[in-house]
Amino acid sequence: MSWETFFNLLGHMGMERFEWSQNLSIGDELIDGQHRVWIEKLNDLSNAIDSRRGGDEIFDLLKFMVDYVESHFLAEEQYMAGQNYPGLERHKLEHSAFCRMLSDLLALDRTRPGAIETIASSINNFQIVWLKHHITRTDGLFGEFLRKKGGSFPGLPS
């Protein structure tokens, strides 16, 4: 499918958007804040695709988002390790599988027809669903663990 044909199809549906809402809060300000930034970067990327920016700009935004996601995962894992969270290893597996998918996207040949369509389809059909599920279920379990543990934690609202 050509870039133009793809955009004509997108004209009917456009890129999906993922908006922050309070039900995505896991009860920890530090992690919630990073999730909000991630969602903003994802939407920036969707906006660039919708406004038919060039491949270089789209790949730059993708790289920008991937760097942020990797630093968020690392921060989250360090936070969990510091709290002796028993679900850490399982959680790390989910993070690393998602990182592999993002690396595959970054490794696409941006000059090849279909590269941007692959990114767009990954956002619309996978990333938003994964992120929503990961935040509410997987990260949410850590939020629940912190609440049950009690006490005060960096960023945890009092």
Per-residue 3-state assignment (H helix, E strand, C coil) for 8-70: HHHHHHCCCCCCCCHHHCCCCHHHHHHHHHHHHHHHHHHHHHHCCCCHHHHHHHHHHHHHHHH
Binding of Fe ion at residue 28 (CB under 5 A)? no
Specify the stretch interacting with Fe ion by CB under 5 A; choose among 45-53, 106-114, 138-146, 147-155: 138-146
**Residue of 85, 139, 143, 146 interacting with Fe ion (CB under 5 A):** 139
The residue (of 87 and 113) whose beta carbon lies closer to Fe ion is: 87
Q: How far is the CB of 11 from Fe ion (least distance, A)?
A: 33
The residue (of 76 and 117) whose beta carbon lies closer to Fe ion is: 76
Per-residue contact flags (x/-) with Fe ion for residues 61 to 100, judged by CB under 5 A? ---------------x------------------------
Question: What one-character-per-residue DSSP string does 128-152 give?
Answer: HHHHHHIIIIIIHHHHHHHHHH-S-
Structural contact between residues 153 and 53, judged by C-beta atoms closer than 8 angstroms? no
Using CB under 5 A as the criterion, which residues of the chain lie in contact with Fe ion when the complex forms? 76, 139
